[in-house]
Copies of this chain bind each other. A is one copy, B any other.
Amino acid sequence: MNHKMLEKYASVLVEIGANIREGDCVQVHGDTEALPLVREVVRACWKVGARDVITRLTDNEIALAKYEEAKTEDLDYFPAFEADYRESMMKDRYHLIRVSAPSLDLFAHIEQSRIQCVQKAAMVATEHLDKYMDSGEIKWVVAAYPSVRWAKAVYPDLPEEEALKTLWDIVFSICRIDTDDPVAAWKAHDSELKTREIWLDDQNFEYLHFEGPGTDLICHLAHHHKWIGGSSVTPDGVAYIANIPTEEIFTTPNAMKVDGIIRSTKPLSVMGKIIEDFGFTFENGKVVDFYAGKNAEVLETLFGMDEGARRLGEVALVPDSSPVSRSGMLFKTTLFDENASCHFALGNAYAEAVRGGAHMTEAERKALGSNKSMIHVDFMVGGPELDITGYLKDGKAVPVLRDGEWAF
């Protein structure tokens, strides 16, 4: 693809995403398939005057070799020095830019328990590092790279080259890279999201009522919940946008007060498998029943990760007319698909999505209803038939979404 476009993509990640400033240190994580963009990102970091840039390249095929070949008793081996190294970068404020190439179903043939074993060991060893990103001390952004594997998964009927070009074009469009001045376009978009965020915060809803096909759910919000859309801000006041693209405005559900049924409206890619046609029944915040047309056992594995895996950690609103939704595509990768649709996440809540949360202990956040888990897995519930109604403290109903679109 066009080199000029790659440079523009990199400039959005560096200047708008992680918002790297002169003197910043940066860690750039990238999949090998994303190397052309990773190279431009590193160069762009140096160009804005970074003090240091550490690049950590990972490879999906190398991950696969471990899943396929390692002895079972070694799967959960995660050396302490690896976690120490990662924490050192956080402590020294190496801001994080991650460019991933979705692995999709590369791991589909691997026994579920082997993947869980590897991923759980890594999560247990590194979960204490979340606080550096939760608190905003580390500016960060994640983005995705249209690899051949991804393009083939999204356009299985097109010839490889055409599939790749089509995916690139749509990613450039959704990520506002195809505008004359992508950095300016992102600033304007961020300002729109902030307007919605402020309105939602002003309502201070007690709970949201979700209604749609297969869905009738009452979701209470955490005490002191904070809506967040677009940019986050570091303690010293620097704005960064942690996801490119982002169309969502999200907050923290009360993990103990969610009741009813919810039907997912899109397939979910998790642990290398695609789960389809699934839904959950919640009681007192906990998934007490679930169904899936395909790969139901992955949900079972997911719920087995820890206590918090069966509860909600995020509720996010996205109008059905978002650019990702308008594309009509299923991207099979959460970073994009979550921006097509209202969604929830099973698992961990974001500390910053309750007021003052970044400076609270885990117990303090939990007391507000904020969930704790090693996992954070988004699933989509939005669509043109979804209505959401907010209920104020005094019981008054306020339309939030009607037929999938903003109602305010």
Chain A residues within CB distance 8 Å of chain B: 25, 32, 35, 38-39, 42-43, 46-47, 49-55, 57-59, 61-62, 65-66, 68-71, 74, 77, 79, 81-82, 84-85, 88-89, 92
Contact = CB atoms under 8 A, between A and B. Distances in A.
Contacts of A50: 70, 74
A234 to B, nearest CB: 21
A63 to B, nearest CB: 9
Nearest to A46: B69
A88 B84 contact: yes
B85 A81 contact: yes
Given A32-B35, A39-B59, A59-B39, A51 B69 contact: no
Contact of A61 (B39, B52, B85): B39
Which 10 pairs, one residue from A and one from B, show the smallest C-beta to C-beta distance? A81-B88, A46-B69, A57-B57, A85-B85, A43-B65, A46-B70, A51-B74, A39-B61, A42-B65, A52-B77
A122 to B, nearest CB: 12
18 contacts: A25-B79, A32-B32, A32-B35, A38-B62, A39-B61, A42-B65, A43-B68, A46-B66, A46-B68, A50-B74, A54-B79, A57-B57, A57-B59, A79-B92, A81-B92, A84-B84, A84-B85, A85-B85
Contact of A39 (B54, B65, B79, B81): B65
A82 B27 CA distance: 12
A62 B79 contact: no
Contacts of A35: 32, 59
Question: How many protomers of this protein does the assembly include?
Answer: 2
Nearest to A74: B51
Contacts of A25: 79
A79 B26 CA distance: 12
A43 B57 contact: no
Contact of A57 (B32, B54, B71, B74): B32
Contacts of A39: 59, 61-62, 65
A81 B89 contact: yes
Contacts of A92: 79, 81
B85 A66 contact: no
A287 B39 CA distance: 40
Contact of A79 (B52, B57, B68): B52
A121 to B, nearest CB: 11
A156 to B, nearest CB: 25
Contacts of A81: 84-85, 88-89, 92
A324 to B, nearest CB: 31
Contacts of A68: 43, 46
A227 to B, nearest CB: 37
Contacts of A85: 81, 84-85, 88
Contacts of A88: 79, 81, 84-85
Given A81-B85, A88-B84, A92-B79, A42 B62 contact: yes
A69 B84 contact: no
Contacts of A62: 38-39, 42, 55
Residue in A65, A74, A92 with the greatest tally of chain B CB atoms within 10 Å: A65
Contacts of A71: 49, 51
Contacts of A77: 51-52
Nearest to A94: B79
